[in-house]
Structure 1
Amino acid sequence: MKILITGSNGLLGQKLVKLLIENNEEVIATAHNGNRLPAKYSGYTFEVMDITDPVSVQKVLQKHNPEAVINTAAMTNVDECEKDKEGCDLLNVEAVKHLIEGCNHIHAHLIHLSTDFIFDGSHGPLAEDEQPNPISYYGESKLKSEQLVKKDSKKWSIIRTVLVYGIAHDMSRSNIILWVKNSLENGKNIQVVNDQWRTPTLAEDLAEGCYLVTKNKAEGIFHISGSDMLTPYEIAIKTADFFDLDASLIEETDGSKFTQPAKRPPKTGFIIEKAKKQLGYQPHSFTEGLKVLAGQLQSS
C-alpha cells in the first residue's frame, strides 16, 4: 500500500516511517521543511509539503497518488495554541481542509490524529461516543478539525490519543518521562501534579494503531492509547523507581500551584476496547513502555 505521512519529522512521524518501512509498505514522508529522519532509514520517498498551502498539498498528493494519508502534523503545544490562536487555526484547522480536499480528489483514505483534549476532563476513561467539550483553544481546534473530517471527507478515520511519550532519534522531543529522568539525574527537586489522570501512550503503540487502521481500511473514530490510568505524579514515581533514581526529589502537588495560559482537562484517559476488538490493538503496559525507552536510550 502507498501511504503518505504528514509531519514525518515529529515523534509519531518518525515511528510511523520506521514501522511502515519494516512492513514493506510504500512510504512517502513529508514535512514543511527539510528531511530530519535518521540517515539509517531507507526505502522511502521524502517530499517537502506545506500543509497550510493548498497548492503544495494538491501538487504532492497528485504526484504520488497515495491510497492513504496519515496526518500527524499539528500545533500541539497547548499553551502556544492559547497564545497564538491564528497560528493554531492555520495548522490545526485550515490545513486539514486542504488535506480533505486533496484526499477527496485522489480518493485517498484520510487518517487524522486527534486528542483527549477535545474533552472537558470531568470524568474518564472515555469511549469514542463520549460528547466533546473542549476547555482550551488547542482542544477547540482539534474538535473543529474532527468536525471537518466527518462532514467533508469521503473516506476517513479519526485516531484520538493521550499523552504520547517516546524517544525521537535526535532527542529533539521531550516528554514527562525524559523530564523526570533528566531532572532526578541532575539532583533537581521537581513538583508534579496529582490531580490529573491520563492513559499515557507509547509512541510505538500509537504508530501501530495508525498502521492497523490504515492496513484494515477501518473507518470511523478510534481511541488509541495506553491502558494504565495514571497521574503525572504516579508517572514520575514509576519513572524514578524504574531507573533507580531518588524519588524523594519529587514533590506531590496539584494543578492550582501552576499558572498556565491554557486549561488542562483534569481527567481523561481512554477506553480502548473498540481498537482491541476491531483492530487487534494491544498496547504495552506503562512499565513495558519504560523498558522500550530504556533500550532506545542505551542504543542512542
Structure 2
Amino acid sequence: MRTARFTTRVAALAVAAALGLAACSSPGSTDSTSQSGPASGSGAESGSASGPEVDRNPTGELPEISGAFGEVPVMTPVEADPPKVITVDTLEEGDGAVVGVDDVVTVNYAGFLWDGTPFDSSFGRGAPSTFSLNSVIQAWKYGLADTKVGDRVLLIAPPEWGYGDQANGDIPAGSTLVFVVDIIEVFGSDTSALESAKLTETPLPEGLIVEGELGEAPAVSFEEGVASPESEQTVVIAEGEGPVITADDTVVYHYLGTYWGTDVEAVSTWESGAQAIPAQGSLFLGEKVGSRVAYVFPSTGTDQPAMVMVVDILAGYKQ
C-alpha cells in the first residue's frame, strides 16, 4: 500500500466528490444533479419529464454576434425582451460528432449579460475549457446537447436555467446570460479502457471491501467493527494499460464516494455520467488511464467520518 501525497486542493476535491458536489472548473459550474436531456431535432421542443424546453430554431430578435469560429466573439445587444426558454442558435455549423447530454466537452466560450456586458471568456487564456455537462448550469447541459463538433452557437440562458435569483461574481441576480460557444471536441463516457486493466495484489485497508467487475460500477462495503484508517491512503486496485496522467491532462473519470462504516447511501457518477477535472494539482497525477483506484481519507472529527472514494479513470486529454 502506498501513501498518497495530498494537497489541500485534493482533500477538498475528495470531500466534494464524496458528497456528490464534484464540479469541474468551467463556466456556470453548479452542483445540480444530472437529468435526462431533451429530444434531438430542430424547433422549440420540450425535453423529457425532467428536462427543460430548448428552442433550437428561434424566430425572435437575438443579439448580433460577429466573429468566426475560433475568433473572439463580439456581441451587439438588442432592445427586445430576452427569451423565456433556453435558446440555441447555430451561428456556424460543424460536421463533427454530436454532443450527448452527459458527455464531456472541450469548448471556447464568451459570456455576456443581456445588455452586452462581458463577464467571462476562455478566449485568450491559452487553452480552451474541458468539462462534463453534468457539472454546469442546466442551460449549458441541455443547450449544448445535440450540437456538433465544429459548431459555433449562440446560447441564451434565462435566469431559471442559469443562476436564478442569486448573484454570481460579476453576474447580478436574475440575469439572462448570453454565451457564444465553439464546440472543439466531445468525449463520451466510454469505459473500454477500464476493461483491460490488470488487478493488483495490493491489499486494501483492513475493513474495506471493494467489489464489482472492471468497467462497471463498483460496490463498497465495510467489515463490521473495524475502525477506519488514521492516515490518507491510496490503493491501485487495478492498473490500466493507458498513458500516465500528467499535469497537462484533463481527466475523465467515474467515482463512487461513501463514508466509512455507515449506512449512508453512496454517491456515484455511474448513473449520471462521467466527470472531468484538470489533472494538475489533483489526486490523479501519476495514475494510468484505465485504472481503478481507492482513496481513503481519515476522519476529521466526530462530525466527519472517514471517507472512501473509488475512482475509475476513463481517459486523459491534453489541455
**TM-score by structure 1 length?**
0.25
- Which one has a bigger Cα radius of gyration? 2
**TM-score by structure 2 length?**
0.24
> Which of the two has greater strand per residue?
2
> Which of the two has greater helix per residue?
1
